[in-house]
Amino acid sequence: MSGADNGVPLRVEGLSLLTSRDILLDRLSFAVEPGEVLALSGGTRAGKTLLLRALAGLAPKGITVLGDIHIRGRRLLVTQDGALDPLRPLGAQFTELLAHQSGMDERTALRCAAEALERFQVPAAARRLALHPHELGEAMRWRAALALAMAAQPALLLADAPAAALDPTQRVRLLSDLAAWTREAGTALLLAERPQPDPVHSGLADRRLILAQGRLEAPEEEPTPALSPVEPAPSGPPILSVRDLRVAFPLGRSWRGEERWLTVVDGLSIALAEGETLALLGETGSGKSVLARAILRLVPPVGGQVSWLGTDLAAAPPEAMRRARRDLQILFPDPLAAFDPLMTIGAQFAETLESLRPTRSSADRAARLAEALEEVGLPATVLDLHPGALRPAAAARAGLARALLPEPRLLVCDEPAAALDGAERADFLALLQAIRRRRRLALLYATQDAAEGLRIARRALVLLLGRIVESADSSVLAAGARHPYSRALIAAAGLARPALHGDPPSPLRPPTGCALRLRCPLAHDGCAQVPPTLDPVAPGHRVACHVAQDEVQDSAQAGGKAP
């Protein structure tokens, strides 16, 4: 099934994968040229991983492979976990692979390994070769895995959703570096991805194919997702007011006996009116998820105030907190983990109602449960199922139905569609928005995906290491974000290479001055002195950035208006 084919690293003709009962992949035909990046998109269970394994000669047992696979030159598969040998240092793994593939001696292999790591922006690359994989952060481990693959100089690289768990800013930079290297080296790259913005438009890929129901489809022109219809600014008083909220976790005492704390939310203040929508945007470690939980007192704050309809939730007694929980509900990233696996969905719905909104009769309760499921598009038979029987899309809708049972006024969403992709994700978010408008719910939506957050919410806050660095209406941020961090999040959401470099700083050792300065292309000496304050740069638009504030001052001195 393998052989030379006029210099083309990969040509597939009529490839089918079958079991005794099902056709898993049906007559696929395509080719990848030298130096070409071909993106293969498809939802969960579309067959992307199965296809890449078959191309690598690793089709699972019991699978019949029909058709022709022509491969010219060396092929390598990078799996979804980017597996490295946990028992051996990086240098030994590079040396073994390069000695086997290219016949390099140890000294040459180590030099080649250091150069490969440097191509993926790994600092002090030569010293990293002495480390084991568990001594590396997630982003650094993925750089090492891809560097190892490219150092072997394959003619064909098969990459199965590499670095999917990384923050968008880190992942897009990593994939951009990988695509640039493969084009320069003449390596054909087949990059399997979940549904996302078209990578061809951003330059990440040269072509794109879509795998759906076991068949390849040519991608259709995708319309640019529009922002949600502009809603009028709220006119009433805030129903939720957060002032100087601070969340920190004790780390024990230092060798000097000083108590140490990890500050995750650092003096944040927000306000939300009836029916208003607010997005919290930021990378992992920005504090958005902890802030969402602290507002509901699922995480105890160490300072500040959370006021709901005039009641300070941070100091509320249990009975007052129980009454407030009728109005305040949350959706988690993993809805299945939020359910008790030993109880049926119906029993857990009934428990929620009995605890927060007791009904007068069993008939009334049954009607309420059926209405909740109908509102989210699930059949009543779901009530008899255990959570483990639900697929991710149904579990997300069941979680939403349970949150709606107490008739809340505020819905806090922490990456509620994280387990979904493609059409399932879009359908769930459309349902969430329709229900929010119909019920006139206030919505707090935390997400890494800046484009998604800006589409859903009327207003947005961008968080970095527990502080707000930019605040504006979503339409303003989408058209002209001022902070380099905001721009990077928005660029990465569209698969464009963000201008930031390096990894996010550790909250255990934050840099002095501006928290972004070590990654920011605009940083100057003054950025290391003091943290920038959140100041207005235009009506309703505030930015915590020395560079942006300098631009506003220069414009004012020149007699112009703030941009």
Dihedral, 422, 432, 451, 394 alpha carbons, nearest 10: -30
Predicted confidence at residue 191, as pLDDT, reads: 94
Predicted confidence (pLDDT) per residue in 494-548, tens digit: 989 999 988 888 888 888 999 999 999 999 988 999 999 999 999 999 999 998 8
Predicted confidence at residue 317, as pLDDT, reads: 85
Answer yes or no: are the C-beta atoms of 171 and 163 closer than 8 Å: yes
Which pair of tokens denotes residue 513? 């001055």
Residue 490 pLDDT > 90: yes
If you average pLDDT over residues 285-314, what whole number do you get? 91
Mean pLDDT of the chain: 89
Predicted confidence (pLDDT) per residue in 438-469, tens digit: 999 999 999 999 999 999 999 999 999 999 99
Residue 559 pLDDT > 70: no
Residue 347 pLDDT > 50: yes
Three-state SS annotation for 158-169: EEECCCCCCCHH
For residue 140, what is the enclosing H or E element? helix 138-151
Answer yes or no: are the C-beta atoms of 345 and 386 closer than 8 Å: yes
Which pair of tokens denotes residue 403? 């949150």
Answer yes or no: are the C-beta atoms of 160 and 52 closer than 8 Å: yes
> With bands split at pLDDT 50, 70 and 90, how would you rate the model's confidence at 222?
low
Residues of the chain with pLDDT > 90: what percent?
63
> With bands split at pLDDT 50, 70 and 90, how would you rate the model's confidence at 555?
low
Q: Phi then psi for 63, rounded to 5 degrees?
A: -100, 125
d(CA 474, CA 462): 11
